[in-house]
Structure 1
């Protein structure tokens, strides 16, 4: 008895190739993004997609949580938040902080809020007149910053608001000073880059434009699959009709 081998439709093969190609390219893009994030010195090591998704949350919370947890030792909060708080470090220690603060007032944003607001707050803030000798902090910026860090029903929102209030009263604006520092770093990096003083990566990072090109290619390949599938359906329909006509003629 003779066996016949039926070849799979070409459209199925192309669809399988597209799916495989999509998975491969997605992995490449994910690896490129993770590599770029790990290249930054201030960012925690990222090993998988879950770390990537939780990174923004950790970055925002890391600066303040150590102070919050000091005031709520008895509360049972999530292990993840406790771990972040344990890894947080004050940029300037309490011992040397005052000496630096006396020389440059703007460094106050780097000190622990509890330390700054106990003995040395009145040096730069007049409780009677409300005069702020540091930069005035826009309330809207802090409202947005707090909203990102904690919701109103959070178990530590009260403690968080207390610390924010101290920072607002003292003019300790971490958000704006950090942004100014970052902008200054970008300017310095740009000048070094023009002079050829910056290191260059051997591997090109994939960009949004590359991703756009990939999606355009996906579109063309899907269009080809649809055309081939329609041709196969038409061929199958015509073949079926011809076989029916032949069978009817044979009967007659």
Structure 2
């Protein structure tokens, strides 16, 4: 994984995410009570998936602490969700934690925006490939579904959306100019996340539309892919909040400055 920064704080946060985020979720823990050894409090609406075993908390002192979700003192209350991924309320009662990094909050949040954008891109690609196979192999009126103009058009639209998501990922992988400061890097990550989120949301909708009623009676692989798209879209910084932050920045800075900040000059 590549992050466009020379900042030590960003590199630290990136390391944490690369080594911890596979089965972890990140939460804002400024409302929690931390002592030298334990953490207490309730976190609401934390994004989780079935494989989530670890909670990474951005503490009020900007450290990142790790808490196991399977140890005594931790209660995870799963919340029902339809279409917007999975979330949970997590109650921590004097639970021991481990400090895994000390970094700046903007750096950690930006790196998590990057991580969630990579995750969304991976699941979007799977959803597209599964949908393409579905419309190529399933027949109606004696011909594959893809022969119907409306189906072919929607599949092509999905491919365009996947290209937009790939473009968002390329923003994260471009090394950029060393002179870029943390604020500009964070803005680039927000734009990448917003681009991927918008495209991923529509791609997921079209995937389900092209699958028709498949998956109503039993779980289907597409459900797993689209749930993870919606989860990645709203991890830590919800998509709506991310777009609002970009809008405020554009109003304050102007279109030209935003363009210059988010479009690296290429040789």
More strand by share: 2
More helix by share: 1
How does the TM-score come out when normalised to structure 2? 0.21
Larger radius of gyration: 1
How does the TM-score come out when normalised to structure 1? 0.22
